[in-house]
């Protein structure tokens, strides 16, 4: 899916729809949700009345018509710009969600009707939109799955490329942790029976689209707090501007309505006020671009605050599965002989470990005697024996398995485990490997070393997380010794070895009790309680319905490293809000120096010395400030949509850096901007 | 000139040297550790027994607030009634009259809220009884109220997840017996030795060299003048306040009074560091406050030493600087220092007439009260700074990508709402009050009032505007100094400033207590790698930025029309 998304910020279609929305959003009932921009709308309306007054009542007390019209138009454009920012963010978010939703066009569904525990095999073909939660349908090879659901019977290979962009088919089957199917994906083989988990309009994607479109978009706690702060700034400036009128009268100056409203609009934080909702939507949109569906805007924000990250070892820290890396024969058995036996025991072994043993042996270019394979019988791994192997036609039994299981077996047959073999086992474990002991008819032959392959660059990512102040915890089923080795090598801060879902839950609760916010990723039904308990629970799309319901995000890529990206997206969201607020308020300094002298210069000529920008005339000074105030909004839209870059350099350094750029920059930029605009408009006013 | 500057430096350094150990002592007092003043314990136990208060009963923030407001209400009624009937009470050797209701209202409020705006003159407006048993009493209890409020907040910041924030009356009484009384006693003795009167006798009559009869007011003044500064009150025994030769006889007493008014506000910041065991935080806060103070005091001293350009244009040399409204025994530099110290710290006592300060100095004095967060009054100063810390924490928390936290507690909408109301209140009451007065002055100059609005102002134009702006600023900041020149003893000014005083005092006390109380109940989050530290210079500068930006943005237009316009028109 990532490949299909056009990354340019302003696509023609989005811009066109956003332009239209900019006008419809002028509806005061909509505007009132944004107190800052709502006051601008009131100001614009008052300016409209003033302009009308000049035209029709020939009111001469308010200055030149052209000037008043210019102010009115600029204010009106300010409103449109702010609305445009929100609309374009919505349009982009919606476009991404839509492209995902497109996968679930109306498709025919083969509905079946259950009677008690039995399912009547009569198939009714209905439209997918008629399916409701709890309905059951079947899918065979070549069918498009009509709705999200859980497999209740069967197993199938499924092409999920429409959702994840990953072309390799995946296996989904009933019962296990991989029982979920997504509408729009295609069954490649076999037949499954699926129970619909969400009716039309109720899927996670639908919920996400509603969030983006604003229908159910609720302000997050942090956004509410910021809105309160911005509203209070607005009130302060209402007080400043209203009281200025008697003050001016006292100073024997008449100030026009246009000037007071201009001053007011310039002072209130319109920049952040206009961009605030766009920033929030863009945050969810960035999550969606990372192929993560968020169930609320709050979840994205919380992600930025995460203190502790629980990561599964397999897939996140290490590549897939363990691989055989070395053979250690014991009891004086020749190397070649040992390797051949190891290979023999694994030839029919379908597990990744088994395959890797064969692969390693082949790489050593051993000579092969295929006659031994004749009549060979493969013995599968079971939890009871904790070993697997082959029974050869000549009665020889070769087994490989965990050390303790094999030791018992060897000792039962009256043999001894050679001391050198125990040494190998210990060494391999201490190096983070998993020892597999090979045995033939009760006699220990040697050890195969299996190693986890740590992902390239993962240590750097953990380093980055540490700088962000996030503690990483590796969750693994390995024994503590192996877990310790891998955790040290990968650079995680802590690990949970031999982890059960209960252990995860306990760890999360322990962290939360000490006031930390915890994020985790999971897919199984037994992960569901922990996913619900975690502050940010990311369920894999391939996971069970229970897991997806319990978490507050769903990752379409089923990529365990996604958590790291999500944390950064959350931080970016807050930083963008903070820096633009600072920028917006810092701008006021220059605007004061433009407008205040202009207001009083007629009555108090000595105030010319406050006009440090040497602006052309009072009118052009005020107009320039208002124009600057308006155009800064669209200029910052790209920043609001992309987000301010997050640098993991520690909180204090980051604060210093952002203060320099957005605080000091926010003071300086408008001085330059207003001066340039004044040079351009000064001669026409 | 250099000795003048040296004198100022000396005073500043002495204050800080004394304030650090005092801060340590205050921290011990409030954490209940052993101190050298433990001999007061039986006396305190007696008072608690007498009043039936159990000092060990823990209160939550709401109970603290109720206790604070109730006891203040009682004092208000007591003071109001006493001022109304003072003329017929004892200890009135000069036969001064009772107050009018509006003046009694204003005066009672003014001393109750630690502001000490005086619309009366001490020599004729009050009696020895009200000076001692109302005014001096209120000077103690109002300062103790502020310190106790700060103690509540310190406790709330220290404890992890609790709603038990100590006993208000205990904090209050300890503030009186352990802090204010001992310090006042020392100050009063030093003042008395240097000639400040301490007598119950009526006015003295003397004959001057020309044989004219002169009557000189006096009274048991030394004690009151001591607590006036120790408790950052500022209301003078005499009308001319600390410019009066009996209230502030010589350079030594001047230094003493400068140290006395500064010492508790400074010590309380250090106390925070010792009490919370976060010394660095205290030093950063103190450093930022000092930065703000220096930015205000340096231009003032510069312009006062430079003298008036108007006099310069007349060709008159001003070797000693701008001397109008100043005492020769203190000089312009020292007076400039005092005028800023008394306005940043809400003392409001004066040793020169602020009305006569240079325009820039006037602007700085007002700005000091408009920011109202550098050092500040007893306890109340930190409460104001606390609000700005909260806003700074919020903005900078966002800037580093983390939900804002203050000392381990998440700052959310509710706290920001309270902080915003308080940050908003200050400009609101100042600007609205001034605007209303200007409006009346313009549109009803000849209203049929006892004092016609047209006669309010001593000066026309910008300076007249400054007089009104200064009056409301002084009230809102609970400062109490006056720009003078304003005819303020009449119904409009007594009543309108009275309300500004109440709002400007209680809301900024209630708000921080509420915020601290709410935060204390929240989950405690231990510091982690991503936590934004509040004890760094960077964070301190953000707080400074928030304070200056809010003050500058809210008051810039008003200052332009007052002192800045005056500056540009005479320079």
Q: Sorting pLDDT into bands at 50, 70 and 90, what band is A397?
A: confident
Tokens describing residue B159: 């404890």
The answer on pLDDT for B226 being more than 50 is yes
Q: In this predicted structure, what is the pLDDT of residue A117?
A: 60
Q: Output the CA torsion sign for A632, A636, A637, A638.
A: positive
By C-alpha distance, the chain A residue nearest B567 is A606
Torsion of CA A609, A612, A614, A619, to 10 degrees: -80
Q: Sorting pLDDT into bands at 50, 70 and 90, what band is A162?
A: low
Position with higher pLDDT, B77 vs A168: B77
* CB-count burial class (<10 Å; 0-12, 13-18, 19+) for A115: exposed
Q: Which of A235, A471, A646 sits opposite B424 (nearest CB)?
A: A235
In the DSSP assignment, the letter for residue A143 is P
B565 CA: distance to closest CA in chain A (Å): 7
Average pLDDT, integer, range B471-499: 88
Q: Output the CA torsion sign for B244, B245, B251, B253.
A: negative
The answer on pLDDT for A626 being more than 90 is yes
The answer on pLDDT for B229 being more than 70 is yes
Q: With beta carbons less than 8 A apart as the criterion, state whether A298 and A223 touch.
A: no
pLDDT tens digits, residue range A556-610? Answer: 877 777 888 888 888 888 899 999 999 999 998 888 888 888 888 888 888 888 8
pLDDT tens digits, residue range B132-163? Answer: 999 999 999 999 999 999 999 999 999 888 88
**Which DSSP helix (H) or strand (E) runs through A36?**
helix A35-56
Q: Are B553 and A267 inside 8 Å of each other by CB? A: yes
A647 CA: distance to closest CA in chain B (Å): 9
Average pLDDT, integer, range A192-220: 71
Q: In this predicted structure, what is the pLDDT of residue A1?
A: 37
Is A312 part of the annotated catalytic residue set?
yes
By C-alpha distance, the chain B residue nearest A306 is B402
**Gap between the Cα atoms of B288 and B291, Å rounded:** 5
Contacts of A470 in chain B (CB under 8 A): 529-530
**Gap between the Cα atoms of A670 and A628, Å rounded:** 7
- Low-confidence winner among A316-325, A635-644, B106-115, B170-179 (lowest mean pLDDT): A316-325
Q: Are A251 and B462 inside 8 Å of each other by CB? A: yes
Q: In this predicted structure, what is the pLDDT of residue A374?
A: 74
In the DSSP assignment, the letter for residue A606 is G
Q: Sorting pLDDT into bands at 50, 70 and 90, what band is A666?
A: very high
pLDDT tens digits, residue range A365-390? Answer: 666 666 667 778 888 777 677 788 88
The answer on pLDDT for A3 being more than 50 is no
Q: Is B491 near chain A, with CB under 8 Å?
A: no
Q: In this predicted structure, what is the pLDDT of residue A205?
A: 67
Q: Sorting pLDDT into bands at 50, 70 and 90, what band is A2?
A: very low
Q: In this predicted structure, what is the pLDDT of residue A579?
A: 93
DSSP A243-292: HHHHHHHHTT----HHHHHHHHHHHS-HHHHHHHHHHHHHHHHHHHHTTE
Q: Sorting pLDDT into bands at 50, 70 and 90, what band is A116?
A: low
Most B CBs within 10 A among A241, A655, A657, A667, hence the mutation to make, goes to A655
Q: In this predicted structure, what is the pLDDT of residue A4?
A: 44
Q: In this predicted structure, what is the pLDDT of residue B189?
A: 95
The answer on pLDDT for A673 being more than 50 is yes
Q: Output the CA torsion sign for B519, B523, B527, B531.
A: negative
Segment of A28-32, B122-126, B280-284 carrying the highest mean pLDDT: B280-284
Residue partners of A566: CB distance under 8 A and separation at least 6: A287, A290, A292, A300, A303, A519, A536, A538, A553
Q: Are A226 and B401 inside 8 Å of each other by CB? A: no
The answer on pLDDT for A231 being more than 50 is yes
Q: In this predicted structure, what is the pLDDT of residue B410?
A: 86
**Gap between the Cα atoms of A562 and A306, Å rounded:** 14
By C-alpha distance, the chain B residue nearest A467 is B529
Q: In this predicted structure, what is the pLDDT of residue A5?
A: 46
pLDDT tens digits, residue range A464-521? Answer: 788 777 888 988 877 788 788 888 888 888 998 887 778 888 899 898 887 788 998 8
Q: Are A225 and B439 inside 8 Å of each other by CB? A: no
Q: In this predicted structure, what is the pLDDT of residue A211?
A: 65
In the DSSP assignment, the letter for residue A168 is S
Q: In this predicted structure, what is the pLDDT of residue A419?
A: 86
Q: Are A235 and B561 inside 8 Å of each other by CB? A: no
**Gap between the Cα atoms of B387 and B390, Å rounded:** 5
Segment of A155-159, A427-431, B68-72, B117-121 carrying the highest mean pLDDT: B68-72
- Low-confidence winner among A136-140, A392-396, B107-111 (lowest mean pLDDT): A392-396
Q: Are B391 and A243 inside 8 Å of each other by CB? A: no
Q: Are A221 and B412 inside 8 Å of each other by CB? A: yes
Q: Are B465 and A251 inside 8 Å of each other by CB? A: yes
pLDDT tens digits, residue range B357-373? Answer: 999 999 999 999 999 99
pLDDT tens digits, residue range B496-548? Answer: 999 999 999 999 999 999 999 999 988 887 777 677 888 999 999 999 999 99
Percent of chain A residues past pLDDT 90, beyond the cut: 19
The answer on pLDDT for A182 being more than 50 is yes
**Gap between the Cα atoms of A78 and A286, Å rounded:** 26
Q: In this predicted structure, what is the pLDDT of residue A323?
A: 82
Phi, psi of A63 (to 5 degrees): 85, -175
Residue partners of B10: CB distance under 8 A and separation at least 6: B255
A485 CA: distance to closest CA in chain B (Å): 24
By C-alpha distance, the chain B residue nearest A588 is B553
For residue B358, give Cα distances in angstroms to A161, A189, B355, B430: 77, 91, 9, 22
Contacts of A235 in chain B (CB under 8 A): 424, 428
pLDDT tens digits, residue range B433-447? Answer: 999 999 999 888 888
Q: Is B561 near chain A, with CB under 8 Å?
A: yes
Phi, psi of B517 (to 5 degrees): -65, -45
The answer on pLDDT for A153 being more than 90 is no
Q: Sorting pLDDT into bands at 50, 70 and 90, what band is A685?
A: low
Average pLDDT, chain A: 83
What ipTM score was computed for the predicted complex, to two decimals?
Answer: 0.90
Active-site annotation holder among A312, A535, A555, A588: A312
Q: Can you list the positions of beta strands (E) in B45-149?
A: none
Contacts of A514 in chain B (CB under 8 A): 526
The answer on pLDDT for B17 being more than 90 is yes
pLDDT tens digits, residue range A33-56? Answer: 888 999 999 999 999 999 999 989
Cβ under 8 Å to A: B residues 391-420: 391, 394-403, 408, 411-413, 416-417, 420
Average pLDDT, integer, range A302-324: 80
By C-alpha distance, the chain A residue nearest B425 is A236
- Low-confidence winner among A32-41, A165-174, B164-173, B327-336 (lowest mean pLDDT): A165-174
């Amino acid at each position: 899916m990532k490949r299909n998304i056009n990354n340019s910020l302003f696509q023609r279609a989005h811009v066109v729809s956003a332009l239209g929305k900019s006008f419809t959003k002028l509806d005061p009932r909509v505007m009132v949700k944004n107190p800052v921009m709502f006051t601008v709308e009131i100001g614009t309306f008052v300016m409209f009345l003033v302009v009308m007054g000049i035209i029709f009542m020939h009111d001469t007390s308010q200055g030149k018509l052209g000037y008043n019209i210019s102010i009115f138009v600029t204010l009106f454009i300010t409103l449109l710009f702010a609305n445009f920012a929100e609309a374009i963010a919505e349009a982009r978010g919606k476009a991404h969600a839509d492209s995902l939703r497109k996968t679930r066009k109306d498709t025919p569904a083969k509905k079946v009707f259950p009677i008690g525990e039995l399912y009547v095999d009569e198939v009714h073909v209905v439209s997918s939109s008629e399916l409701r939660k709890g309905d059951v349908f079947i899918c065979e090879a070549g069918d498009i799955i009509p709705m999200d659901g859980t497999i209740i019977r069967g197993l199938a290979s499924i092409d999920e490329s429409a959702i994840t962009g990953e072309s390799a088919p995946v296996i989904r089957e009933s019962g296990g942790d991989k029982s979920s199917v997504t509408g729009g994906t295609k069954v490649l083989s076999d037949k499954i029976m699926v129970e619909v988990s969400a009716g039309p309009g109720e899927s996670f994607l639908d919920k996400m689209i509603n969030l983006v479109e604003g229908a159910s978009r609720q302000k997050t706690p942090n956004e509410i707090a910021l809105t309160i702060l911005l509203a209070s700034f607005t009130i302060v400036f209402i007080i400043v501007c209203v009281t200025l009128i008697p003050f001016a009268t006292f100073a024997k100056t008449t100030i026009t309505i246009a000037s007071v409203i201009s001053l007011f609009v310039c002072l209130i934080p319109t920049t952040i006020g206009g961009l605030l909702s766009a920033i929030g939507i863009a945050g969810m949109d960035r999550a969606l671009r990372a192929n993560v569906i968020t169930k609320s805007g709050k979840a994205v924000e919380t992600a930025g605050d995460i203190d502790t990250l629980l990561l599964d070892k397999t897939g996140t820290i290490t590549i897939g599965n363990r691989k055989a890396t070395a053979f250690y024969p014991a009891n004086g058995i020749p190397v070649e002989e040992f390797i051949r036996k190891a290979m023999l025991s694994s030839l029919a072994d379908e597990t990744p470990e088994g395959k890797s043993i064969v692969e390693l042996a082949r790489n050593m270019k051993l000579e092969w005697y295929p006659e031994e394979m004749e009549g060979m019988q493969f013995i599968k791994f079971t939890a009871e024996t904790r070993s697997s192997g082959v029974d050869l036609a000549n009665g020889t039994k070769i087994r490989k398995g965990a050390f303790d299981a094999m030791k018992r077996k060897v000792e039962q047959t009256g043999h001894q485990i050679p001391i050198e073999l125990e040494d190998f086992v210990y060494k391999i474990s201490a190096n983070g490997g998993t020892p597999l002991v090979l045995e033939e008819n009760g006699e220990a032959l040697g050890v195969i070393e299996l190693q986890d392959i740590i992902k390239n660059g993962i240590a750097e990512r953990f380093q980055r997380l540490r700088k962000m102040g996030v503690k990483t915890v590796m969750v693994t089923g390995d024994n503590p010794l192996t877990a310790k080795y891998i955790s040290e090598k990968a650079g995680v801060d802590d690990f949970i070895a031999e982890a059960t879902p209960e252990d995860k839950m306990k760890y999360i609760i322990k962290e939360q009790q000490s006031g930390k916010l915890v994020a985790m990723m999971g897919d199984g039904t037994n992960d569901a309680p922990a996913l619900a308990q975690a502050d940010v629970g990311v369920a894999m799309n391939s996971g069970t319905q229970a897991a997806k319901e319990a978490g507050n995000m769903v990752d379409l890529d089923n990529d365990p490293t996604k958590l790291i990206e999500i944390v950064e997206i959350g931080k970016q969201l807050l930083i963008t809000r903070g820096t633009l607020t600072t920028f917006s308020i810092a701008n006021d300094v220059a605007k004061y120096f433009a407008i205040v002298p202009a207001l009083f210069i007629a009555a108090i000529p000595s105030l010319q010395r406050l006009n440090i920008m040497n602006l052309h005339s009072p009118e052009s000074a005020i107009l320039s400030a208002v124009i600057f105030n308006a155009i800064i909004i669209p200029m910052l839209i790209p920043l609001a949509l992309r987000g301010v870059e997050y640098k993991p350099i520690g909180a204090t350094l980051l604060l210093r850096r952002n203060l320099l750029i957005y605080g000091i920059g926010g003071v300086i930029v408008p001085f330059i901007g207003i001066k340039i605009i004044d040079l351009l408009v000064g001669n026409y006013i | 000139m250099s000795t003048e500057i040296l004198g100022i430096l000396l005073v500043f350094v002495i204050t800080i040297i004394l304030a650090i150990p005092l801060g340590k002592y205050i921290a011990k007092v409030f954490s209940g550790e052993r101190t050298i003043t433990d001999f007061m314990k039986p006396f305190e136990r007696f008072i608690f027994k007498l009043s039936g208060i159990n000092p060990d009963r823990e209160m939550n923030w709401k109970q603290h607030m109720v206790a604070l407001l109730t006891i203040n209400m009682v004092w208000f009624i007591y003071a109001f009634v006493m001022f109304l009937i003072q003329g017929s009470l004892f200890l009135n050797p000069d036969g001064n009259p009772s107050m009018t209701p509006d003046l009694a209202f204003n005066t009672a409020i003014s001393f109750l809220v630690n502001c000490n705006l005086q619309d009366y003159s001490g020599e004729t407006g009050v009696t020895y009884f009200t000076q001692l048993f109302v005014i001096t009493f209120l000077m103690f209890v109002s300062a103790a109220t502020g310190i106790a409020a700060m103690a509540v907040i310190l406790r709330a910041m220290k404890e992890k997840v609790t709603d038990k924030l100590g006993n208000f009356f205990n904090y209050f009484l300890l503030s009186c017996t352990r802090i204010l009384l001992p310090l006042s006693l020392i100050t009063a003795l030093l003042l008395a030795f240097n000639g400040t009167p301490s007598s119950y006798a009526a006015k003295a009559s003397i004959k001057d060299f020309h044989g004219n009869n002169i009557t000189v007011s006096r009274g048991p003044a030394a004690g009151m003048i001591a607590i006036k500064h120790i408790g950052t009150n500022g209301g003078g025994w005499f009308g001319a306040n600390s410019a009066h030769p009996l209230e502030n006889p010589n350079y030594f007493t001047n230094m003493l009074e400068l140290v006395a008014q500064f010492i508790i506000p400074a010590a309380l910041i250090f106390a925070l560091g010792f009490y919370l065991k976060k010394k660095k935080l205290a030093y950063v806060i103190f450093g930022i406050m000092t930065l703000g103070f220096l930015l205000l005091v340096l231009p003032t001293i510069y312009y006062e030493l430079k003298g008036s350009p108007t006099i310069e244009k007349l060709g008159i040399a001003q070797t000693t600087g701008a001397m109008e409204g100043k005492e020769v025994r203190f000089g312009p530099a020292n007076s400039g220092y005092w005028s800023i110290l008394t306005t940043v710290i809400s003392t409001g006592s004066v040793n020169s007439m602020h009305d006569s300060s240079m325009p820039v100095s006037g602007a700085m004095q007002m700005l000091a009260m408009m920011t109202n967060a550098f050092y500040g009054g007893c306890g109340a100063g930190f409460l104001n700074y606390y609000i700005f810390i909260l806003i700074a924490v919020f903005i900078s928390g966002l800037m580093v990508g983390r939900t804002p936290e203050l000392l381990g507690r998440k700052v959310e909408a509710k706290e920001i709402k309270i902080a915003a109301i308080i940050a908003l209140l200050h400009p609101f009451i100042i600007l609205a009050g001034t605007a209303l007065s200007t409006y009346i002055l313009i549109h009803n100059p000849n209203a049929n009032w006892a004092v016609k609005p047209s006669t309010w102002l001593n000066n026309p134009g910008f300076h007249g505007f400054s007089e009104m702006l200064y009056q409301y600023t002084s009230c809102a900041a609970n400062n109490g100094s006056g720009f003078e020149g304003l005819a303020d003893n009449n119904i409009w000014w007594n009543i309108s400033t009275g309300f500004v005083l109440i709002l400007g005092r209680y809301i900024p006390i209630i708000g921080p207590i509420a915020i601290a109380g709410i935060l204390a109940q929240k989950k405690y989050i231990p510091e982690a790698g991503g936590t934004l530290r509040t004890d760094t210079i960077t964070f301190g500068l953000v707080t400074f930025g928030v304070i200056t930006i809010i003050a500058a943005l809210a008051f810039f237009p008003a200052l332009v029309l007052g002192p800045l316009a005056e500056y540009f028109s005479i320079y």
